[in-house]
Chains A and B, each alone.
Chain A
């Protein structure tokens, strides 16, 4: 490569960092003008830093992180729980929010990539027992302005679900006021800061969470009591720690959390690698055995294509007339489906298109085959066949309601109660719904969804 080629390549690399790394040129005009009016103007340090630079939102460098880290270590970590406020606070939000600003070099978010479809395979050792565990990002939904990622863990038992976010505020674990086997995020405004951003700016911090609720105590009648929140402390123990797992060595950020649980003191060590996520996690509660989970393989998802671009490619000009159907965060549908739906207005009514990954397919809410194809794509079997199959059937029923209402030129307003029957290998949801027309008039309808082995076997609208 000659000098010109090198220069061209460097130009492209800088442009890619700007575009993909979300590092656009800042507006420094006010800072410069303020400095120019100050006697002496901007004072340049040996490193090129300037006093007035402080007037501009500073970019946190790794140097800052290291300085803060060296300054002291000791943080509080914990697991906390929060009081239930009765009703989940999730508000209407698009299923797939606009892309977040990408993480910078020392942003905590860069250490826990939560793109939809990212998958981590771990080997977990508890005492003498070893098992394989797979964790996948299976949904991303905006709740109160924060993009919450649903992480599904599949091991040798029922799938369990945890909810995380990674953004400019740091990496947070969001407590859901439900059981760990429930895929639905029940917001309770309890969140634990696991890794503040920028890394190194804080050496210790407190955090809150709810204790894990493994067993559905309230099932079978009676209202479940929300557990009391727990507060713990977290400590940043290191950056750039070399951690070897299997054949690979990762440079990690090391966080320790200390929490007082009913079963005893819980000490947990988390090792985050940039661009990969958690590569090792150990925990020990009281006199119990230590649990150690180590990364075997991280498989990042393919980047999601621009949905409008995919639609335009598939439908041509018709794609420009389509609108995307937003699925509210308070709706089960948002937490069980990765598919997105676009509505195309046509002279003879409306038509729906389903986007899954980079594929577009027509979707008819009256077609059982289309629902079965959806279930196949969504991989409902391993993900939703645990103790909470009703989320899947209710989610499908609400999706059906939304699409059927749109077909009628109306709006799906609300459920009028529902009934769920869970049998061996099958689930039935009956969902009475209310649609609202443009003139404000209401009509009542009923949707029935039956599934067997996580596959829809009937999706009925008003009995048909």
Chain B
């Protein structure tokens, strides 16, 4: 991982705004993946970029800046001690990077989102309904099972199958 160098403050990284626009979505998604809620992700993205602008890395290539931002964001997230939602375990940096690259790719997750939108349309209606209730309306398992008329075991099976179908479909479209 590229380290931070103590360079003079505010050197322009290919135009600060351009750098921020290029990377901010990926950093935000990365934080959400770690388990930050949306408000915390907003805050930490800003802090990470401010650190970048104040003390940019020596290697200013795009992949290096992206990796530096992810590491900084992960450290900031760890230091808050807040995990508002289930996220990926952050102990293993190598695994984190590998899975991130496989899924988010070079576009910070934009392609993954596009594929997800298409794959959702291809799911059976009842499966889409379950995901809709879970992720749009935020129903927890008990309420979700009640709404769908399922037992807890049936709900788990339905959601697991939904995730498998989506993962296969997205993989086929993005890799």
Contacts and interface: CB of A to CB of B under 8 A. Distances in A.
Interface string B113-137: 1001100110001101101111111
B58 interface: no
A93 B41 CA distance: 37
B68 interface: no
A3 B92 contact: yes
A48 B20 contact: no
Interface stretch (A49-57, A139-147, A399-407): A49-57
A10 B113 contact: no
Interface of B: 10, 16-17, 20-21, 24-25, 28-29, 32-33, 35, 37-40, 42-47, 49-50, 53-54, 76-77, 79-80, 82, 85-89, 92, 95-96, 98-100, 103-104, 109, 112-113, 116-117, 120-121, 125-126, 128-129, 131-139, 143, 146-147, 163, 166-167, 170
Contacts of A23: 32, 38
A393 B100 CA distance: 58
B118 to A, nearest CB: 10
Rank and list the top 5 A-B pairs by shortest CB-CB distance, nearest first. A275-B137, A25-B28, A20-B135, A59-B39, A48-B80
Given A9-B163, A25-B29, A26-B28, A15 B38 contact: no
Given A21-B135, A53-B46, A12 B163 contact: yes
Contacts of B76: 48
Contact of A20 (B10, B42, B132, B147): B132
Contact of B10 (A29, A36, A104): A36
A4 B95 contact: yes
Nearest to A52: B46
Contacts of A16: 116, 131, 134-135, 166
Nearest to B128: A303
Given A48-B82, A110-B137, A110-B138, A7 B129 contact: no
A276 B137 CA distance: 9
Contacts, number: 195
A7 B24 contact: no
Given A7-B99, A28-B20, A102-B136, A19 B116 contact: yes
A17 B104 CA distance: 15
A306 B116 CA distance: 15
A11 B103 contact: yes
A446 B170 CA distance: 54
Nearest to A357: B125
A10 B138 contact: no
29 contacts: A9-B163, A11-B33, A11-B103, A11-B112, A13-B86, A16-B166, A20-B131, A23-B38, A26-B42, A27-B24, A28-B49, A33-B16, A33-B20, A41-B54, A48-B44, A48-B80, A50-B43, A53-B43, A58-B39, A102-B137, A104-B38, A113-B137, A250-B143, A275-B138, A275-B143, A302-B126, A302-B128, A306-B121, A358-B125
B138 A15 contact: no
Given A14-B87, A48-B80, A275-B139, A3 B95 contact: yes
Contacts of B170: 12
Nearest to B19: A29
Interface in A368-396: none
Nearest to A53: B43
Interface in A314-361: 358
Contact of B38 (A52, A59, A274, A275): A59
A156 interface: no
B147 to A, nearest CB: 5
Nearest to A102: B136
